[in-house]
A = this chain, B = another copy of it.
Amino acid sequence: MVQETHGKGTYRITEEIEKRVADSNIQKGTVTIFVQHTSCSLVIMENADASAREDLHAFFESLVPEDIPYFVHTYEGPDDMPSHIRMVLTGCSEVIPIIDGTLALGTWQGLFLFEHRRSAQTRKIAICVMGI
């Protein structure tokens, strides 16, 4: 699947993945979701209150700031290298069990693409649904 992004932040993709699982008719197994880039991530995060995600964004701005003076890899701007590091810290894949034909997410869990670049991007996501 493809997810368009328009700046830093988290973009919910739970429903698209849920639909892929439903279409597969697999009742029990796993779904692997893998974003094919090095400057955005996949995260599972609190899905009800947007303030939790706002705080998450602010925390990452503080943990991996754009103005670290020793960065060399800054060809694409100040958000270049921080994007790679934020991706390494949060990961580019998730594996979620499927139970009774649906994602085994907890009540408050949502799946989000975490965009680390300032500019608009078209993000490609590989998905593999496997049954047992």
Determine if B92 and A91 form an interchain contact, defined as CB atoms under 8 angstroms apart: no
Determine if A68 and B72 form an interchain contact, defined as CB atoms under 8 angstroms apart: no
Q: In the complex, which residue of chain B has the Cβ closest to the Cβ of A34?
A: B97
Bits for A28-56, please: 1 = Cβ < 8 Å to B, else 0: 11101011111000011110010110111
Number of identical monomers bound together in the oligomeric complex: 3
Interface residues on A, range: 35 or more
Question: Chain B's nearest CB lies how many Å from the CB of A83?
Answer: 9
Q: In the complex, which residue of chain B has the Cβ closest to the Cβ of A129?
A: B132
Chain A residues with a Cβ under 8 A of chain B? 28-30, 32, 34-38, 43-46, 49, 51-52, 54-56, 58-59, 63-64, 68, 70-73, 75, 81, 84-85, 87-99, 104-109, 124, 126-132
